[in-house]
Amino acid sequence: MPLEEKQHYNPLGRLFYRLGRLWINSYVGKLLGIIFKSIGALFSIDRKRFRTEFRQIVMQVFFTGIEALPLIALIAIVLGTLTITQALTVMPKMGFTDFFGNLMVIIIIRELGPVLTAFLIAGRTGSALAAYVGNMRVESEVDALETMGIDPIKYLVMPAMVGGIFALIILSTLFSTIAIVVGFFVAKGLVVVMQSMLEGKLMWDHYLDSILMSLQAMDFVMIVLKPLVFGALITSNACLFGMSVEKDIREVPKSISRSVVYSFITIIIANLILSLAYFVGYIQTISTVI
Amino acid sequence: MESISLRNIKYSIPDWKDSKVILKDINLQLQQSSVLCIGGQSGQGKSTLLRLIAGLLQPDSGQIFFSGIESKLHEHNALNIALVHKVAFVFQNSALISNLKVFDNVALPIRYHHPDLPSNEVTDRVMQILESMMVDEYKDFFPYAISMGAQRRVAIARALALEPRILLMDEPTSGLDAKNRRSLLALIENQRVLRHASILIATHDLRIAQELNGQIIALHKGVLSEPQFYDDFVESPEGYIRDLVYESSENNDIL
């Protein structure tokens, strides 16, 4: 029994103490712990010292945002083109051409855009971050920071989280924009080439109007909120599993794989919660209007 | 005046079914401006003891004092120890930040803790430390691009950047050739004499104590021996101390 528990608590207190320890040592407890510590570090930042942390944030934005852009753009073009061409093969036959904008908003802007971007960043940047932090642990670099009086949460985790979130918001917006705009023109090209197979007509003005008409005010909130939550989850999972590496180099690949898997799982759960919240809010708004 | 004082320190690590005791009832005093070497076979807990003092590990029980002030268990963490008690640590593997150049590694603690310092003053201060460690020529190199001896010097330079009162060094001479070893010991002696730093060294190389005019204590089965100067230490009748001295002199003969 730990010394502090033995000394300070009666049986009921001990039960709560143990429940508390169980919560703190659980995955969710640790994940929330690292997120809240980072938020605390962000708000307790010394303005004079910001230069050191700002450098780390810029490096993270560069690595997460700029270097990942070609990959994000490619996937966005493919997804946009596929969605439009698939819709073209089915919707005109069923007489749903007017709902084209709704379909694009729901699939690209609300759901797949933020989630796919987050998955790509979790696989690319999250894994790299977990490996970086894990190697720093193995090489005692994190210990070295502490012995220099430098808090690893302030120096490593918080800048990675802020940079990751910032980059993900930009990338997610770019993903949706590229999927909708470039996807449209590629699909239009396909319609010209494959006239016999694709029946519908693609008019830019009509397409753009229907998308803009389908957008709700809440969509603009979600465009920022989803990448913000996903970015926090990706970077905190990467740092959590990277930091959990002890002194064995064989733990690093395990931490990378766990970081990616747990990022995927938490992103899916967070997306479900946010989409449900959006849906409930949407239904309530419609009921009020009716 | 005692720079560090340990009283009845116990430390164990969880085993698969029970816990394994690493340190039992450790008592140690390190006087100001002195050198104390901890000898011992591999796996006896020398590095663990240094890590405990640095706040990287928490003892199961006991008290740790820095300059007479107790470091309470709930405050005993590396950040506090470094900032409040001015303790610096030199790791066995140097532990330089791999994505920072040599210059930035040494500048990091200065920039972090003295954000008001103009950049030209930071540069001057870093260059002065690098020159004193004879590694100024590597300032634009990343750590992986320089030799182990140079990395060790940079690690010491970084540890000295905040002018610590206490320097904890884990195997500072391991893997160094005779020339590098000599110059490193001269640098350590400089720190003791010029800055009045207290230096605690975990090492297999017991000659360090003789060359730095310090004392030696042996760590064996979780217990520390009495501190002795090298000449008395080598005369000890204890079998494990004789083994230590034999191994140490063998290593020095190789060098």
Task: Indicate whether A243 belongs to any domain.
Answer: yes
Q: What is the mean pLDDT of residues A258-286?
A: 90
Which chain A residues touch B81 with a CB distance below 8 Å? 147
Number of structural domains found in chain B: 1
Residue type, B60: D
Those residues of chain B whose CB sits closer than 8 Å to some CB in chain A are: 51, 54-56, 60-61, 77-79, 81-83, 87-89, 91, 93, 95-98, 108-109, 111-113, 115-116, 158, 161-162
A5 has a chain B CB within 8 A of its CB? no
Q: Which of B97, B113, B158 sits opposite A149 (nearest CB)?
A: B113
CB within 8 Å of A150: residues ≥ 6 apart: B79, B108, B109, B112
Q: How far apart are CA B130 and CA B189, in angstroms?
A: 17
Task: Indicate whether A2 belongs to any domain.
Answer: no
Domain extent for A228: 47-289
Per DSSP, what are the bridge partners of residue B35? Answer: B199
Most confident stretch, A35-49, A101-115, A259-273, B170-184: A259-273
Mind listing the pLDDT tens digit for each residue in A53-104? 788 788 888 877 788 889 999 999 999 888 888 887 777 777 776 777 788 8
| Tally of CB atoms within 10 A around A50 | 12
Task: Indicate whether B168 belongs to any domain.
Answer: no
Q: Which of B86, B112, B119 to mutate to test the interface with A (most CBs of A within 10 A)?
A: B112
Contact A148 B82 (CB under 8 A): yes
- The structure tokens listed for B72 are 């309470």
Q: How far apart are CA A168 and CA A170, in angstroms?
A: 5
Task: Indicate whether A15 belongs to any domain.
Answer: no
Contact A147 B88 (CB under 8 A): yes
Q: How far is CA A277 from CA A106, A180, A270, A280, A284, in A?
A: 15, 25, 11, 5, 11
Question: Any idea what the CATH number is for the domain that residue B218 is in?
Answer: 3.40.50.300
| Residues A248, A261 contacting (CB under 8 angstroms) | no
| Residues B217, B230 contacting (CB under 8 angstroms) | no
Q: Chain-centre distance of CA B164, in angstroms?
A: 12
Contact B81 A46 (CB under 8 A): no
Q: In tens digits, what is the pLDDT along chain B, a chain of 255 residues?
A: 778 999 999 999 877 667 788 898 899 999 988 999 998 888 888 999 999 999 999 898 899 999 888 887 777 888 888 878 889 999 999 999 998 999 999 999 999 888 888 989 999 999 999 998 889 999 999 999 998 888 988 999 999 888 898 999 999 888 778 887 888 888 888 888 888 889 999 998 888 888 888 899 989 888 888 888 888 888 777 777 777 777 776 666 555
Count interface pairs A-B at CB distance under 8 A.
76
Number of structural domains found in chain A: 1
Q: What integer pLDDT is reported at residue A1 of this predicted model?
A: 45
Domain extent for B35: 1-75+196-255
Task: Indicate whether A257 belongs to any domain.
Answer: yes
Task: Indicate whether B10 belongs to any domain.
Answer: yes
